[in-house]
Structure 1
Amino acid sequence: MGRGKFKGKPTGRRNFSTPEEMIAGTSARPRTFKQEQAEDEVRDESGEEEESEEEEIERSKGTQGIIETANPNLVRPKNLKAKDADLDKTPELSRREREEIEKQKAHERYMRLQEQGKTEQARKRFRASEFDKAAKS
């Protein structure tokens, strides 16, 4: 039965193999390490032609070999050189900047119309000023 949430303190200690254990083959290293070493030795003994053929034929695991998709995150943006840059081309404004400019233009247009007396607010002010003049006289 478990003794609780945490492990005891002496976990995770390193086990170093002695030279005698390494020679005898009873070291703490995993067995796959020995297999990889043996494969490397066999590859070294075989010719270079076979080695290049093995590198070309790599099987991918699972559906990776069947479905090949381009990862859009791996595509790096192309850098423009200074000589290729077009100085006459103006950069496109963002939506917020474009809306801000439109808002300012609309306000200026409204103020011009108000000075000419063509807006409802200007007409109301004009009527109110006439009413005040009539009341004073």
Structure 2
Amino acid sequence: MPRGKFTSHKGRNRRFTNPEELEEERRKEQEKSKWRSKKEISSDDEEGDSDDKKTNEDSDSEEESSDEDDDKAKGVQSLIEIENPNRIQKKNKKLSALNSNIDNAAPQLSRREREEIEKQKAKAHYQKLHAEGKTDQAKADLARLAIIKQQREEARLRREKEQKEKEDAAKQKTAQTQKALGKK
């Protein structure tokens, strides 16, 4: 093992069990299970003496329960029924059933996608109403537009009037200069 600055803790304390030790533990477990099964049979015999009227169905159910006991539940697992949804084994599904479910079901949209579609529909609806002039903003715009048209019309009339006045003034001036020169 290298000593010094760059040592790692990962390989220091590894201990491997011998195959002989594993075999010994397995043998001890088998002996314990045999002893337990003998103990259960002897306690069942004592109960059987008092109840000689057992039917064949009861003996069949006892055989099934002994088969279940062979599974050996750990701890109090055999005493308490648990329903853990994470422990449920998933059942295989047929491909044809999956394909039919996919074909029949409408595509599920996420919340963001649905909201985006709703926004687009609302915007299109608002634009349509705005074009028809039914929204408050459209009414305000049309009123402002009418005022601007009126102001422009008044300004145009005023310019025309001033233009006529200028032309008249120019004609009078030329007429006066012509008169002063005595040409007419």
Question: Shorter-chain TM-score: what band?
Answer: 0.5 to 0.7
- Gapped regions of structure 2 (runs ≥ 5): 1-11, 35-64, 154-184
Alpha-carbon distance in 2 for matches of 1:77, 1:107: 47
Tell me which of the two structures has the higher relative contact order, counting C-alpha pairs closer than 8 angstroms and 6 or more residues apart.
1
**2:37 is matched with which residue?**
none
Equivalent residue pairs, number: 108
**1:127 is matched with which residue?**
143
Alignment of 1:9-24 (within 5 A): 12=13, 14=15
**1:85 is matched with which residue?**
100
Alignment of 1:1-137 (within 5 A): 12=13, 14=15, 29=21, 34-40=24-30, 56-57=68-69, 58-62=72-76, 64-73=77-86, 74-76=88-90, 79-82=93-96, 85-86=100-101, 87-137=103-153
TM-score, normalized by length of structure 1?
0.56
Larger Rg: 2
Q: CA RMSD in A?
A: 3.8
Percent sequence identity over matched residues? 32
- Gapped regions of structure 1 (runs ≥ 5): 1-10, 23-28, 44-52
Higher helix share: 2
1:61-114 superposed Cα distances (whole Å, 9 cap, x missing partner): 13x333222221234375451365142432332222222222211111111000
The list of structure 1 runs, each at least 4 consecutive aligned residues, that deviate by more than 6 angstroms after superposition, is none
1:5-58 superposed Cα distances (whole Å, 9 cap, x missing partner): xxxxxx5265898xxxx7xxxxxx58xx62423555897xxxxxxxxx876312
TM-score, normalized by length of structure 2?
0.44
Alpha-carbon distance in 2 for matches of 1:90, 1:16: 58
